[in-house]
Amino acid sequence: MSISASASLKLEHLLAEGFAGNDSSLSVSLIEYGLAWKEDGEYLTFYYAHPSVQGRFGHANERKDLDPKREWSWVDWERVATSHGLSVAELLALPLPGIVTALLSQYGAENVFGASHAEGFEIDFGSLPPEKKSARLRRAARLPADRIFPA
Instruction: Tell me the C-alpha to C-alpha distance, in Å, between residue 99 and each of 92, 93, 96, 124, 147.
Output: 7, 9, 5, 27, 27
Instruction: Tell me the C-alpha to C-alpha distance, in Å, between residue 57 and each of 42, 90, 114, 121.
Output: 22, 29, 13, 5
pTM of the predicted model as reported, rounded to 2 decimal places? 0.78
Q: Is 42 helix (H, G, I), strand (E, B) or coil?
A: coil
pLDDT in tens, 57-95: 999 999 999 999 999 999 999 999 999 999 999 999 999
Instruction: Tell me the C-alpha to C-alpha distance, in Å, between residue 56 and each of 50, 60, 74, 101, 144.
Output: 5, 14, 27, 18, 15
Confidence of residue 3 (pLDDT cuts 50, 70, 90): low
Residues 6+ apart with CB under 8 A from 142: 104, 108, 109
Residue 138 has pLDDT above 80, yes or no: no
Confidence of residue 145 (pLDDT cuts 50, 70, 90): very low
The whole-number pLDDT of residue 147 equals 39
The whole-number pLDDT of residue 74 equals 96
Residues 6+ apart with CB under 8 A from 55: 122, 130, 133, 134, 137
